[in-house]
Amino acid sequence: MNLSAQLFTLIDFAPRLRRGLRSPAATIGASVLLIVIIVAAFAPWLAPSDPLRQDIALRLRPPGAGHWLGTDNLGRDILSRLIYGARPTLGIAALVMAAAAPIGLLIGIVAGYVGGWTERVLMRLTDIVLAFPQLVLALAFAGLLGAGTFNGALAVALTIWPSYARLARTETLSIRDSDYLAAARMLGIRSSRLLWGHVLPICLPFAHVRVALDMAATILSLSSLGFLGLGVQPPTPEWGAMVADGSKVIFDQWWVAAVPGAAILIICVAFNLLADGLRDLGDPRHG
Amino acid sequence: MAEHPLLHVQQLEVRRRDNREAPLVGPFSFDIGSGATGLVGESGSGKSLTARALLNLLPPNLQAHSRQMRFGDRELSTLNNREWQAVRGAEIALVMQDPRHALNPRLTVGEQIDEALRLHVRMRTTQRLDRVLQVMDEVGLPQSRQLLKHYPHQLSGGMGQRVMLAIALVNRPRLLIADEPTSALDTGLRNQVLDLMMQLADTHGMGLLLISHNLPLVARYCKQVLVMYRGQCVDRCAGNALDQATSPYTQALWNCRPSGHTFGHPLPVFDPESIEANAS
Amino acid sequence: MTMATQRLSTLFFRHAAPATLLRIAATSVLSLALTLAGLLAVTFAMSALSPIDPALQQVGDHASAATYAQARHALDLDAPLPERFVHYLDRLCHGDLGVSTATGQPVLGELREVFPATFELSTIALLLSAMAGVGLALLSARWPGSWIDSVIRIISLLGSSVPIFWLGLVALALFYAHWHWAGGPGRLDDAYEYTIDMPSGLVLVDSWHSGMPGAFASAVKHMLLPVLLLASYVLGSIARLTRTALLGELHQEYVTLARAKGAGSSWILLHHVLPNCAGPMLTVIALAYTNLLQGAVLTETVFARPGLGRYLTNALFYGDVPAILGATLVLGIAFILINGTTDMLVRLLDPRQR
């Protein structure tokens, strides 16, 4: 199987989409995500005002005409900040996944395929990282190495790869001794091609579900970092940090914290629904 | 069978609950008297479903219906769940195929035999223990308190099957349904266990429904044999008359049995169409 | 049900032989030690890579080069990395976690003061959520396909989607500020906070023994929201995973045999399926416990409850390196102990592994 053929099967979208529409969970999740992505992409056109423009005279306005979701303690328009805030929330989480998932898959596939000592060492390492308090380590990492977008994202990425390694190893083991790999090997296909062309596609359907689940978990971790001031730095709008801004006035101007937190909740529900739907659609071998 | 049969079943059928398809089993009628009754047929012929229907133990998506199911002087087809629970294990008991799966891995032999007793009678712990040891002795298990504390994974296949038999017999049921009780055992043990079951059925005057795909075995042990094919009862005859059966399916089944004589030769293949024509 | 209580455990239960117990314990301890070594390496690496300079924090910007060098030497910052790691381990073995740069107190003593509060909070939340979660799972396995399934699904969906720090704020705004149903931030009303001795560090215990009328009630009132919050955070995952385990076990053949013995559905669930799910359930509950400890970090911060979590977030705020490392280490060790104990219990509970 050459690369283009394999990519073609991967993005063989139409039938998958049709099946996907049959799962209401996946449909709702995907629709919400689509809306959020569009909002994030077209933020400059959609936001009613500049998310950074402060106006002390207008601080802590309740939701109403002019400022649909009210203003925060610096008089910034919350709706605009919410719209712009979708960018780091989605973007950084996506980057984290793009960094962590392939590394985890690679480690797992190599461990499962090579076996022996390599497997033992790699999987022991994976287990060790899995046994760590991931959020706490991410907090400590960001706190010690300096708060900021990059360190926060790196900290979360470092704790996420092991689940992919576990998953990829299990799947690789299940087919390592299969006849179809033996056949491919007999045709003289090199190991690296074998891993890329035959083993990886087996892991991907499971990885889809995992990515959707982890997107929710990652967004929660990143927003926790933001809430504690360790993530995206002000004045850039970020949902977790916006909740922190609102926490000081939670008893009187509840909407300042309630709105961005609800946004986090909604997007995480969407990712989890998508994951549920993808899992129900199941892996191609049974579906 | 002049006397009143132990179990009299009229027009038993098993259907899917959604009820769109034809019945999976039946409708057919049969009697089970004292002594052994054999139920034979190939895999998927509905033997096990029939057995489960007699215990009202079908999976939730299936439903059994019969015009009459008289057990002794009781009508079973109208029982509710609670009444069925009192019948199951106490009056009609089941022995399953593979003790490795059918015994609970986390409970000891003693606990599992005792449970069957505890569910049906109120007795003191010491009395129950006596009864458990007694039934273990009956089924040929060493009558030791040590064995009581063994877990299923510590037993051999033959011992496991005897434990299952002990579970079934501890309440002295009037009917024992044995669903492929020996197919997980090797040949020597197979005969031992079957001989034991026959002998116990005899001493206690217990009816026995033996489900098997092993025809010579059934021919040897059973007074009466019912032959099932695709959910229908296509033939019934005496056990010792199986080799002279007139029904083409029974003949075909009998001829397909592998043995020393057929070694190296292809087994005969039967033609489903002729059987179906005959059955309907 | 009276018969159910008459278990013949003394007659029928066989205890594990001491030798196998020892073997299981040894493998568990070895795996724990490896994980601990990994944790130590990670915390040390983070401190070594950190741009925060504790020596500079100590002596200030205006110190002379000599004072600064002296401070670096005192803090063991001038040695090569491998040597520093050995020194780090050596100091840990002697219970020396360094001195907090924010308070000037030894970190170990401070941790000892704050840890009980976090332990109390997360353990109470765990007990609550485990009971409710397993109960829900049993109900849904007893009546499969009923509305209980949907309840479990929704709780678990929300539990894995809600930012807990935000939920805490919302709960405070509604139940404390708006409806006055629960206590506000802190662990006690102000009247008691500064008058009660805290010898054990467990606020429920200490307020009970304080002899002050109303102190215990105040502690309960203040604990209500954070405990319910944390419990609801893991309830969904406990219920969902336990339900999956129970339903999987219901397909086993021994369940059919138990039904053939005349056992009813509830009996089978409680006597056969539940004990056979003990392993997966323990794992699920241990996972929930570790999640609760992490959730407690944010919850304590939101509710301004003194505890390990708030200690850590304060240390993060002040860039207090020894305190950050100490708190991380304690939480990491708690994780390792929870995972290790569970692992061992699961293996001990399975008769096939003895």
Reading the block at residue C25, the tokens are 């314990």
pLDDT of amino acid B232: 80
pLDDT of amino acid A16: 62
**In chain C, whose CA is at the least distance from the CA of A133?**
C332
Least-confidence region, from A179-188, A278-287, B226-235, C187-196: A278-287
Residues of chain B neighbouring C276 (CB-CB closer than 8 A) = 104-106
In angstroms, the separation between the Cα of residue B143 and the nearest Cα of chain C is 14
Residue with the bigger pLDDT between C256 and C55: it is C256
A121–chain C Cβ distance below 8 A for any pair: no
A152-188: b or e for each residue (b if 16 or more CB lie within 10 Å)?
bbbbbbbbbbbbbbbbbbebbeebeeeeebeebeeee
* Residue keyed to tokens 């002990």: B166
Split at pLDDT 50, 70, 90, the class of A15 is: low
Q: What is the mean pLDDT of chain C?
A: 87
pLDDT of amino acid B205: 85
Residues of chain A neighbouring C158 (CB-CB closer than 8 A) = 265, 269
Q: With H, G, I as helix, E, B as strand and everything else as coil, classify residue C320.
A: coil
Q: Helices (DSSP H) in chain C: which residue ranges?
A: 2-5, 9-12, 18-49, 54-59, 65-74, 81-93, 107-142, 147-159, 164-171, 190-193, 203-209, 215-250, 253-260, 265-268, 274-276, 278-303, 308-318, 321-349
Of the candidates C163, C177, C328, the beta carbon closest to that of A140 is on C328
C1–chain B Cβ distance below 8 A for any pair: no
pLDDT of amino acid C229: 94
**In chain C, whose CA is at the least distance from the CA of A143?**
C316
Least-confidence region, from A231-245, B64-78, C13-27, C245-259: C13-27
Per residue in C307-347, pLDDT (tens digit) is 999 999 999 988 888 999 999 999 999 999 998 888 888 88
Of the candidates C52, C170, C297, the beta carbon closest to that of A258 is on C170
Residues of chain C neighbouring A228 (CB-CB closer than 8 A) = 298, 301, 313, 316-317
Beta bridge partners of B25: B14
Per residue in C7-23, pLDDT (tens digit) is 444 444 444 556 777 87
Split at pLDDT 50, 70, 90, the class of A205 is: confident
In angstroms, the separation between the Cα of residue B88 and the nearest Cα of chain C is 5
**In chain C, whose CA is at the least distance from the CA of A266?**
C161
Question: DSSP readout, C5-70?
Answer: H---HHHH--PPPHHHHHHHHHHHHHHHHHHHHHHHHHHHHHHHH-S--HHHHHH-TT--HHHHHH
Alpha carbons B252 and C7: distance in angstroms, whole number? 53
pLDDT of amino acid C61: 77
Of the candidates A124, A133, A265, the beta carbon closest to that of C161 is on A265
pLDDT of amino acid B19: 72
Contacts of residue C14, Cβ cutoff 8 Å, sequence gap at least 6: B108, B149, B150, B151, C351
Split at pLDDT 50, 70, 90, the class of B269 is: low
Mean pLDDT calculated for residue range C108-123: 94
Mean pLDDT calculated for residue range A235-253: 89
Residues of chain A neighbouring C165 (CB-CB closer than 8 A) = 224, 227, 240, 243
Tell me the backbone φ, ψ of residue C227, rounded to 5 degrees: -65, -45
Question: Is B touching A (3+ C-beta pairs, cut-off 8 A)?
Answer: no
Q: Choosing among A33, A128, A279, which should be mutated to test the C contact, i.e. which has the most C CBs within 10 A?
A: A128
In angstroms, the separation between the Cα of residue C177 and the nearest Cα of chain A is 6
Mean pLDDT calculated for residue range C101-128: 93
Alpha carbons B109 and C160: distance in angstroms, whole number? 42
- HSE (side-chain half, CA atoms, 13 Å) at C204: 14
In this complex, do C12 and B114 lie within 8 Å of one another by their Cβ atoms?
A: yes
- HSE (side-chain half, CA atoms, 13 Å) at C277: 28
Alpha carbons A248 and A74: distance in angstroms, whole number? 12
In this complex, do A136 and C328 lie within 8 Å of one another by their Cβ atoms?
A: yes
Split at pLDDT 50, 70, 90, the class of A271 is: very high
pLDDT of amino acid C31: 82
Mean pLDDT calculated for residue range A207-223: 90
Q: Choosing among B61, B104, B131, B149, which should be mutated to test the C contact, i.e. which has the most C CBs within 10 A?
A: B104
The Cβ of residue C346 has, within 10 Å, a number of other Cβ atoms equal to 18
Q: Choosing among A132, A214, A222, which should be mutated to test the C contact, i.e. which has the most C CBs within 10 A?
A: A132
Alpha carbons B119 and C260: distance in angstroms, whole number? 11
pLDDT of amino acid A187: 79
In this complex, do A137 and C293 lie within 8 Å of one another by their Cβ atoms?
A: no
Beta bridge partners of B238: B224
Alpha carbons C184 and C225: distance in angstroms, whole number? 8
Of the candidates B110, B119, B125, the beta carbon closest to that of C261 is on B119
Q: With H, G, I as helix, E, B as strand and everything else as coil, classify residue B74.
A: strand
Alpha carbons C153 and C237: distance in angstroms, whole number? 9
The residue type found at A55 is D
Residues belonging to chain B: 280
Per residue in B76-133, pLDDT (tens digit) is 888 888 899 999 989 999 999 888 889 999 899 999 999 999 999 888 989 999 999 9
Per residue in A124-154, pLDDT (tens digit) is 888 888 888 888 988 999 888 888 888 888 8
pLDDT of amino acid A287: 34
Residues of chain C neighbouring B90 (CB-CB closer than 8 A) = 262
Residues of chain C neighbouring B148 (CB-CB closer than 8 A) = 11-12
CATH 3.40.50.720 fits A23-43+66-286, yes or no: no
Mean pLDDT calculated for residue range A1-27: 61
In angstroms, the separation between the Cα of residue B109 and the nearest Cα of chain C is 8
Interface A–C counts its CB contacts (< 8 A) at 144
Split at pLDDT 50, 70, 90, the class of C48 is: confident
Q: Choosing among B118, B124, B127, B167, which should be mutated to test the C contact, i.e. which has the most C CBs within 10 A?
A: B118
Cα angle A166, A169, A172; round to 5: 150
In this complex, do B101 and C258 lie within 8 Å of one another by their Cβ atoms?
A: no
Least-confidence region, from B29-43, C86-100, C154-168: B29-43
Reading the block at residue C172, the tokens are 């405070």
* Residue keyed to tokens 């009299």: B8
Q: How far is CA A218 from CA A97, A193, B261, C66, C312, in A?
A: 8, 32, 69, 46, 21
Percent residues over pLDDT 70 in chain B: 90
Alpha carbons B86 and B92: distance in angstroms, whole number? 10
pLDDT of amino acid B280: 45
CATH architecture, domain defined by B7-91+173-257+268-274: 3-Layer(aba) Sandwich (3.40)
In angstroms, the separation between the Cα of residue B66 and the nearest Cα of chain C is 20
In this complex, do B102 and C256 lie within 8 Å of one another by their Cβ atoms?
A: yes
Mean pLDDT calculated for residue range B152-172: 89
- HSE (side-chain half, CA atoms, 13 Å) at B150: 16
In this complex, do C324 and A137 lie within 8 Å of one another by their Cβ atoms?
A: no
In angstroms, the separation between the Cα of residue A181 and the nearest Cα of chain C is 31
Of the candidates C42, C50, C170, the beta carbon closest to that of A137 is on C42
pLDDT of amino acid C305: 92
Tell me the backbone φ, ψ of residue C94, rounded to 5 degrees: -90, 10
Alpha carbons A34 and A51: distance in angstroms, whole number? 22
A21–chain C Cβ distance below 8 A for any pair: no
In this complex, do B153 and C351 lie within 8 Å of one another by their Cβ atoms?
A: yes
* Structural domains in chain C, sorted by start: 16-51+97-353 (1.10.3720.10)
Q: How far is CA C212 from CA B135, C92, C182, C186, in A?
A: 65, 40, 20, 18
Does this complex have an ipTM over 0.90? no
Residues of chain A neighbouring C42 (CB-CB closer than 8 A) = 132, 137
**In chain A, whose CA is at the least distance from the CA of C35?**
A128
Residues belonging to chain A: 287
Q: With H, G, I as helix, E, B as strand and everything else as coil, classify residue B259.
A: coil
pLDDT of amino acid A264: 96
C93-105: b or e for each residue (b if 16 or more CB lie within 10 Å)?
eeeebbbbbbeee
DSSP H or E segment with residue B202: helix B187-204
Per residue in A51-108, pLDDT (tens digit) is 877 777 777 778 877 777 788 877 788 888 999 999 998 999 999 999 999 999 999 9
Contacts of residue B269, Cβ cutoff 8 Å, sequence gap at least 6: none
Residues belonging to chain C: 354
Q: With H, G, I as helix, E, B as strand and everything else as coil, classify residue B108.
A: coil
Residue with the bigger pLDDT between B271 and A130: it is A130
In this complex, do C166 and A261 lie within 8 Å of one another by their Cβ atoms?
A: yes
Do residues B39 and B47 make contact, with C-beta atoms less than 8 angstroms apart?
A: yes
Contacts with C, A 245-284, CB within 8 Å: 246-247, 250-251, 254, 257-258, 260-262, 264-265, 268-269, 271-273, 276
Beta bridge partners of B36: B208
pLDDT at A13 over 60: no
The residue type found at A269 is V
Do residues C106 and C215 make contact, with C-beta atoms less than 8 angstroms apart?
A: no
pLDDT at C354 over 60: no
pLDDT of amino acid C6: 37
Question: Is B touching C (3+ C-beta pairs, cut-off 8 A)?
Answer: yes
Do residues B147 and B176 make contact, with C-beta atoms less than 8 angstroms apart?
A: no
